[in-house]
Structure 1
């Protein structure tokens, strides 16, 4: 199943909503897609230290209801902001009863609590919600993730609070590596240590080097992964694991869909 979820309020920028519609048109030419409802109201109110909380909770509940009705065992979610993966990943983790390793490919940590966030934007909090530590959003989600299920991949722009949380909870972190062969071996070894039977890949496009792939609303400073390294890693991960869930997020449309993104969508369609 392909779920189009243009949730944009987490970053407060409609670019990702518009990009989701473009990707929906592209994917629906050869695949059936299901679209999650998304509010377009731009007058977002902050509640409980989260901007747009009302819209976010409504949309996450709606996406969960779609998934619980359709009951997919394999799922690709296309956003939208990175936080548009909240309902999808929560659903898949519950479906597989926590027997799931999650590779979160993102230049940012996405792991602040509402109290730790300076911006109060939810796109900096989705992992914390999935871990059950971001009420009231986490209260909507079935079966929280455990820190040992996570592999944070390519983070290069972390807040100090995120660094502290990652260290205190012993969350696996893979820095940017230049050698694709080394990367694939490291991923393989780490997945084996997790001892879960199923795999979920979350791809935030800002994990790529911004000089090679600038098509994101919030490029991170520093050197990211090359497109070649990411595509090679995705292909290897799909080939050697039971890949049950994927997501692609944070695309900014600037007139065309880059070849890298088309290739990534082809690989990640499960």
Structure 2
């Protein structure tokens, strides 16, 4: 999917999937496996000491270590644009799959194993969630409690003016962009779980 890179390319080792689901460990599915992957990603980044990164991965958790690294490097100059249908601020108390926890951890909230991977949390004022719609009650309350700015799918289609205003207001100098493919229109991009042929509207 990515164009050729002029810089170094690394791959975080991930075990081959099996037909047996990973176990739920202390509220998180596959906790020990995910923590190992987080540690491996951190080792690679620390060895390379990059000023910038491009990351391709299987789910939203792949943004945790790179964005944490960027936060350490750039501090309050870093902004995080989270382009996602979901805010990813849940904890194991709400959902066992860690891909739904990652932005909360980057903000310094949530599961201790994930927040330990974030030595310098991103300030809430430096975060914008674009493409979000229909958040769950917990998510909506988290967004309100932390003053996170959001931009609806329609606002994105209309030019994403709230994003431009946020960048100006927050005086962002370095931008980390997270893109979850679930924000793409399934009529135009069908390679998503929710758009599999034969699935009913509520099968997921």
TM-score, length-normalised on structure 1?
0.66
Matched, 1:200 2:176: yes
Conservation of the 8 A alpha-carbon contact between 2:71 and 2:122: yes
Query: Displacement of 1:145 after TM fit?
Result: 1.6
C-alpha distance in 1, partners of 2:27/2:129? Answer: 25
What does residue 124 of structure 2 align with?
A: 147
Conservation of the 8 A alpha-carbon contact between 1:154 and 1:176: yes
- Aligned partner (choices 10, 30, 36) of residue 12 of structure 2: 36
Query: Displacement of 1:29 after TM fit?
Result: 8.1
CA shift digits 1:162-186 (9 cap, x unpaired): 0111011110010112675x42433
C-alpha distance in 2, partners of 1:179/1:86? Answer: 24
- Long gaps (5+) in structure 1: 1-22, 220-270
> Larger % of strand: which?
1
CA shift digits 1:188-223 (9 cap, x unpaired): 21111112221111111111122222222246xxxx
Indicate how the Cα distance of structure 1 residues 29 and 70 shifts in structure 2: closer, same or farther if over 3 A, else same: closer
Query: Displacement of 1:157 after TM fit?
Result: 3.9
Conservation of the 8 A alpha-carbon contact between 2:72 and 2:119: yes
What does residue 64 of structure 1 align with?
A: 42
Indicate how the Cα distance of structure 1 residues 153 and 29 shifts in structure 2: closer, same or farther if over 3 A, else same: closer
Indicate how the Cα distance of structure 1 residues 60 and 171 shifts in structure 2: closer, same or farther if over 3 A, else same: same
Q: SS at 1:97's partner residue? A: helix
- Long gaps (5+) in structure 2: 196-204
Indicate how the Cα distance of structure 1 residues 30 and 65 shifts in structure 2: closer, same or farther if over 3 A, else same: closer
C-alpha distance in 1, partners of 2:146/2:105? Answer: 15
Count of aligned pairs: 192
C-alpha distance in 2, partners of 1:157/1:218? Answer: 16
- Aligned partner (choices 98, 101, 105) of residue 79 of structure 2: 101
Conservation of the 8 A alpha-carbon contact between 2:77 and 2:172: yes
Query: Displacement of 1:141 after TM fit?
Result: 2.4
Q: SS at 1:206's partner residue? A: helix
Equivalent residue runs for 1:141-180 within 5 Å: 141-177=118-154, 180=157
Conservation of the 8 A alpha-carbon contact between 1:98 and 1:143: no
Matched, 1:121 2:91: no
Query: Displacement of 1:32 after TM fit?
Result: 4.7
Query: Displacement of 1:40 after TM fit?
Result: 2.4
C-alpha distance in 2, partners of 1:145/1:85? Answer: 13
